[in-house]
Structure formats: C-alpha cells, structure tokens
Amino acid sequence: MSKNLHKTHLLELISDVQTEKALDILDRMLVHGKLYADLVQYKSRYREIRAAENRGIIEPSTALFEKTKFNSGLISFISDLDERELLNQILLVSPDSEAHEKLAEKFKSYFPNTAENFSGKLEKGDFAFVVCNDFFTAKEKQEDFDKLIQDYIDAGYFLVCATENNQKAIVGANRKQIHGANSQFALFARVREMIDFVRYFSPTNP
C-alpha cells in the first residue's frame, strides 16, 4: 500500500467499526517515539473499554458512548499524523534462529514495527527496508546468508547490513542500496538513518 493511502485506510477501518484492526496496523507502522507512546495509551484505553463491556461492568449504552468518544479521539490522532510517521514494517533477517535470538529482542523493543525472518528463504512483502543480521552468522552458513542478502538486493529492497566485517564485498559493491553497520551501536544509528531516508527522500523502493 502506498504511503498516501495509509491514513485513508485507517480512517475507513474505524468508520467500518474495525477499531481494533486499525490499532493493530498503527502498532506495526508507527515509528517508535513520542507518538508511539501516545498510541500505547490509546491501546490501553481501548482494552479497558472492551474489558468493562465484556464483564458487564458498564451498560451497553455507556459502552457505546465510550467507544464513540474513543473513536472520535483516535480519528483526530490519525488525522493529525504526518504520513511520514507511518512506516511499513522493517524486516529483520537472520541466518538462523540462534543468531536471530541474539539480536531480535533488543531490536524489536526499539523498533516495534519489525517483521522477522530466519528461515533462510526470501521473504517478499511491502517492507520499508530490510535489516540483515550478519553479526552472528556461523562460518558454514556464511555463503548461504550472503546469497540471501544478494536475493534481497536483486528484489529491489534497501538494506542495512549489520556485519563486523568492514570490508564485506557485497556491501561495498552495492552502496546505492546497502547501509553498513559494523557494531550493534552503529546498527541502531544506521536503522534510524534509513528510517529518515525512507520517510523523507524515498517513498518507494529503488
């Protein structure tokens, strides 16, 4: 879905009484930061209303009033969003589950709109960009993982390649699509830079 349709789609979902789905989509797309903290509060309030309704703590008429008031506030929140705050999911790719576990939890805590793949196969989707976790690749799996990275390049994605190898050939040969990070510290900085690049300079993949 192109960026200029994100807000329209979310507002249509709320109009169709699919508020929970709209919140789920926002949770995947909203860039982490102050606005994401606001979203957490909206999600918490929505759960409170639903729980009170399901347990019979509030009358149906009161529940309807609260949900209508909630939706009105959520509509205003979405309407005020800059489209650039809405980002397709980032895809975090690792060579296997063991390597993935060493980075994924910390990564997702900071970038909650993250999809994951450690199957060794190309994952196709409308991702904002791909982060290739090459920090913990076993030697016997390096060739296959490099081939997978090349597959993502050939598929037209922008990549952040997290590797301690400063001279990694595939990074040097594809500077127009790959942003390299040679430490975990650098990785988080490069991902933030890539988010800004996608948001402000390149609304679609190359």
- List, for residues 26-70, the tens digit of each pLDDT value: 887 887 677 888 999 999 999 999 999 999 999 999 999 999 999
| Residue length of the chain | 206
Both 104 and 33 in a single domain? Answer: no
Give tens-digit pLDDT for 74-87: 999 999 988 778 88
Both 81 and 99 in a single domain? Answer: no
Query: Which residues have a Cβ under 8 Å from the Cβ of 75 and sit 6 or more positions away?
Result: 11, 14
In a domain, 127, yes or no: yes
Both 178 and 139 in a single domain? Answer: yes
Domains held by the chain: number: 2
Query: Which residues have a Cβ under 8 Å from the Cβ of 153 and sit 6 or more positions away?
Result: 159, 170, 174, 177, 178
Both 122 and 148 in a single domain? Answer: yes
Last residue of a domain, which of 59, 85, 111?
85
Query: What pLDDT, on the 0 to 100 scale, is given for residue 1?
Result: 43
Give the CATH number of the domain where residue 175 resides.
3.40.50
Output the six-digit token pair for 69.
């008031």
**Bridge partners, 162 (sequence order):** 133, 181
Both 100 and 179 in a single domain? Answer: yes
Give tens-digit pLDDT for 146-182: 999 999 999 999 999 999 987 899 999 999 999 999 9
Q: Which amino acid is at 111?
A: F
Domain region containing 171: 90-200
Last residue of a domain, which of 67, 85, 103?
85
